[in-house]
């Protein structure tokens, strides 16, 4: 029996199995996070985390930019790098981010994820593949 077949895969081999991913951050007024999840789902993104956030701007800055409430939804979306630009464009278009005070979205490349199962979930869920939950 060949011992090479029994050794665990190298980190480089594991990286090659999965698509490159970006983490898209969307910050918008409280209560609109579900709308972002709907928009990203239409673009093939199925992993979104909606977190409550709170702005720290002073009243004078809020007035200057025409922003009333400081309570925000922060949506974290795990997106395949090849589709990130399209996802950001759809979010901006549908949420009318060209208008002041409506929100902001930006992407950060994911360099690593601890745990192969987590990375596998993010990449396969984002492609719409069925997941085996081990139950």
Q: What is the pLDDT of residues 75-120, one digit of tens each?
A: 999 999 999 999 999 999 999 999 987 999 999 998 877 776 776 7
pLDDT-based confidence at residue 17 (cuts at 50, 70, 90): low
| Residue 135: predicted pLDDT | 29
Range among 31-40, 47-56, 123-132 rated most confident: 31-40
Determine the Cα–Cα distance for residues 41 and 32; give it in Å rounded to an integer. Answer: 15
Percent of the chain clearing pLDDT 90 (strictly above) = 47
| Model pTM score | 0.71
Q: Decide: residue 25, CB within 10 A, 0-12 exposed, 13-18 middle, 19+ buried.
A: middle
How confident is the model over 37-47, as a mean pLDDT? 93
DSSP string, the chain: --GGGTSPPPHHHHHHTS--EEEEEEEEETT-HHHHHHHHHHTT---EEEEEEE----HHHHHHHT----EEEEEEEEEEGGGHHHHHHHHHHHHTTTSTTS-EEEEEE----SSHHHHHHHHHHHTT-------
| Residue 23: predicted pLDDT | 95
pLDDT-based confidence at residue 6 (cuts at 50, 70, 90): low
């Amino acid at each position: 029996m060949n011992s090479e077949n029994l050794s665990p895969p190298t980190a480089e081999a594991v990286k090659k199995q999965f698509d490159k991913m970006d983490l898209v951050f969307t910050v918008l007024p409280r209560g609109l996070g579900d709308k972002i999840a709907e928009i990203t789902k239409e673009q093939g993104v199925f992993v979104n985390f909606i977190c409550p956030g709170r702005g720290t701007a002073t009243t004078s800055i809020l007035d200057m930019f025409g922003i009333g409430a400081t309570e925000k939804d922060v949506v974290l979306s795990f997106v395949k790098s090849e589709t990130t630009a399209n996802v950001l464009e759809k979010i901006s278009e549908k949420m009318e981010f060209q208008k002041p005070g409506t929100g902001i979205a930006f992407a950060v490349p994911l360099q690593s994820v601890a745990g192969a199962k987590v990375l596998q979930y993010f990449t396969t869920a984002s492609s719409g593949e069925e997941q085996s939950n081990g139950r």
